[in-house]
Structure 1
Amino acid sequence: MAGKLQFSANLKWLFTELPLEERYDAAAAAGFKAAEFAWPYDYPIELFCKLLKDSGLRQVLINTPVGKSGTDKASGQACHPDSISAFREDFFAALEYANGLDCELIHLQAGIRQKDVSEAAALETLINNVSWAGVQAKKSGVSIVLEAVNLNDIPGFVVTTQAQAQHVITQAGCSNAGLLFDIYHVQRSEGDVTSRMKEFFPSIHHVQVADSPGRNEPGTGELNWSFLFERLMQLGYKGWIGCEYRPATSTVEGLHWLKPHNTTNL
């Protein structure tokens, strides 16, 4: 397995025992070489630049902005026909942070389908927004990723399967758009993770992990992680694997799962 897998710490989920200002150093001390952070927009770019420089970490992914918790925009608005201008403004904000942090991936959050909007209209809006965003991102050498989300966690999410996400990407026609293959969501929505992995591998730009059904660290649920990681290596995956899970106890205590699999960090 030497030299084949590389893991990044998602600092929205990991090291939350600490304030943000200490999480990057903590991740580096634990052996990580890269980080993800979903929504950096409440903090100045300069802060993240300092945290990255001081810790030596690389920023590999951020998400597009979302609305307030409990609203229909809490999971993004890329599929909302009445919010195209707002989505574009948000995407420019994401692109500004991605450029400032030398971050090559933006997770474009598709959103929940609004009650008065048909599935066809929501998907058409999403496709158009992905197409537009891809053009904007390409100017800066940034790629966008689209994630299918299971309906147990986010009822009403517009894209729930890899096939649906792939359809959106194909119709959008963006060479710099791909799948965010979140193993937890795949298992919850579809199961048969390795078959989905193989089928859609050419479009997978980023992978995230959490065990199912509790969304805790790998090894706490029903998935065979040695098998899954071996399959990723067999397929030739070269990207980062984001640790986007809720530690069952503390972050550091929960990292014991990683040592047999990680080949570049710990």
Structure 2
Amino acid sequence: MRDVTAASEHSYVINLSILFSELPLLERPAAAAAAGFSKAELWWPFGTETTPSETELDALRKAFTDAGVQLVGLNFLDDLSVGAKGTASVPAESERFRENIPAAVALAESLGTGALNAIYGNRVDGVSAEEQDALALENLSRAAQAAHSIGAILLIEALNKVDAPDYPLHTAKAAVEVVDRINAATGLGNAKFLCDFYHLAVNGEDLVAVIDDYADRIGHVQIADNPGRNEPGTGTLDFEDLLARLTAAGYQGRIGLEYRPSTGVSAESFEWLPRELRAN
């Protein structure tokens, strides 16, 4: 991205579950601030714990407030650390997802977090797709209602079929259909599509068409280049064009940096984004 005209139209969020992962979690907000960022997002940061202790929660809050970094996005329990892809649609995990809702929402409220991301859940043997989808709708509706109670949105995303072959939402259309079902069920309208360019590109989607078709449902955008899931400029995606198209389509939300640094050192991966744009 040599021309940053389109980049300057957006606000950037650093995902501290994938960037600066070479550091302990509680050191990452300060590292993000040192790199010039003022906003961050996290996958669920407590592994398989549905309800972390107050000591753990206070330590995380302190790390962000001391660094002067706002946590603007947070995943509900997702178990990404142990290879699972969400718990909302999985009968054996449903109760854990429900237990996590108030804990995640309380943490989000305490840090002024305005977006909560719910990973849908893999298909599992012995349970019909219809049963899983009905359970997901029930659980995600609960999550949307809880998010609404603190003025937050609920995000639903498609994942790529290489890394998550059993995940049922492999297209923007599939994810948006879930968003629409949640909004119809709750009447709140706070469920939105998380448009992750990397996952969609791996799945072979036409990213321009995704923007054209679903810009009005997009609540957040995440980026990584393809192939490789590294920083912009390391692969083939034309982010200058994609960001310009987002702006033209009326998207005024944030852009989440959810990539792995190509050198393994996060601080070396931000040259594509001028420092003056990182805290906008």
**TM-score of the pair, normalised by structure 1:** 0.91
Shift of 1:68: 7.5
User: Which residue identity lines up with residue 219 of structure 2 in the other structure?
Assistant: H
Pick closer, same or farther for the CA change 1:69–1:117 going to 2, 3 Å: farther
**2:77 corresponding residue in structure 1:** 65
Write the distance in 1 (CA, Å) between the matches of 2:220 and 2:80: 26
RMSD: 2.1
User: Residue type matched to 1:225 in 2?
Assistant: F
Aligned residues: 263
Q: Contact (CA 8 Å) 1:126, 1:168: kept in 2 or not?
A: no
Q: Distance in 2 between matches of 1:22 and 1:77?
A: 28
Matched, 1:31 2:36: yes
- How far 1:38 moved relative to its partner? 0.9
Partner of 1:40: 45
Q: Which of 217, 221, 226 is equivalent to 1:203?
A: 217
1:127–1:169 CA contact under 8 A, matched in 2: no
2:145 to 135, 140, 143: 135
Aligned residue in 2 for 1:257: 272
Aligned partner (choices 169, 174, 178) of residue 168 of structure 1: 178
Residue by residue, what CA displacement relative to the aligned partner does 1:157-207 show, whole Å, maximum 9, x if unpaired?
Answer: 021111111111111224111011101011112421011012111111111
Distance 1:166 1:68 in 2: 22
> How big is each residue's C-alpha offset from its partner over 1:56-90, in whole Å with a ceiling of 9 and x where there is no partner?
1111111111348556xx21111123443222112
Q: One-letter code of the match for 2:17? A: K
What are the Cα deviations for residues 10-52 of structure 1, in whole angstroms up to 9, with x where unaligned? Answer: 1111112322222111111111110111122367221222222
Matches within 5 A, 1:1-266: 1=5, 4-41=9-46, 44-67=56-79, 74-173=84-183, 174-249=188-263, 250-259=265-274, 263=277, 265=279
SS at match of 1:45: helix
CA drift at 1:258: 1.7
What is the percentage of aligned positions where both structures have the same residue? 36
TM-score, normalised with respect to structure 2: 0.87
Query: What secondary structure, in the 3-state scheme, does the structure 2 residue paired with 1:157 have?
Result: coil
Q: 5+ residue gaps in structure 1?
A: none
CA distance in 1, matches of 2:160, 2:124: 17
Structure 2, unmatched stretches of 5+, are none
